[in-house]
Amino acid sequence: MKKHPISTRAVVVTGALTAVVTAGGTVNAGAQPMYFSPEQRIHTLAEVPQCLAGTVDVRVTSGYTPDEIHADFTTHLYSPAWVGLADYECYVTMYADWHNHDTGARGTAEHRVASWRFQGPNVTNPYLDIDTGAGPVTVTFRTNTPHTPSPTFEVPAR
């Protein structure tokens, strides 16, 4: 009895698709998932005296490549000028002190974040990518003004 050509083609296509899906799954099996930290808060004074103080919420994720981490800042700096007509930004400089446990490399990244009294948080520079090299990293955030104890994050290797 002669086989119908469609059934032979279906078997070949099904086998090829199974091989592609299996190979694709094998390739991605070694990749580590991205790391997402819980948000931690720093209470800090602002750099501009008119702004008084506020908070910076910090969240860390592993970067899009294995040799970087990504920090996200949400700033809430408060000013008595909210009731007046002042038109200025409230800002603070953030420092990220990092240490790569595999390579021993260390560094400090500097980044200014700001909020404006009529637009709420994050009007400028809410993100920072830090090149740390591949491997597990410890990163501690601080500001250049008096602040509460700084949050430290342990970011696993990817």
Gyration radius (Cα) of the chain, Å: 25
Question: What average pLDDT score do residues 126-155 get?
Answer: 90
Quick: pLDDT tens for 51-67.
888 888 898 988 788 88
pLDDT at 53: 86
Q: What is the pLDDT of residue 80?
A: 67
In the chain, the DSSP E strands lie at 40-45, 53-62, 68-77, 89-100, 106-116, 120-124, 127-131, 137-143, 152-155
Give residue 20's pLDDT: 43
What does the domain layout of the chain look like in residue ranges?
1-31, 40-155
Is the pTM value of this prediction over 0.85? Answer: no
Residue-wise pLDDT for 74-133, tens only, equals: 888 877 655 555 566 788 899 999 999 999 999 999 999 887 655 555 555 688 999 999
Under CATH, to which class is 40-155 assigned? mainly beta
Distance between CA atoms of residues 38 and 35, nearest Å:
10
Average pLDDT over the chain reads: 76
Contacts with 59 (C-beta within 8 Å, 6 or more apart), sequence order: 36, 37, 38, 39, 40, 71, 72, 74
Q: What is the pLDDT of residue 77?
A: 81
* Mean pLDDT in residue range 35-55: 84
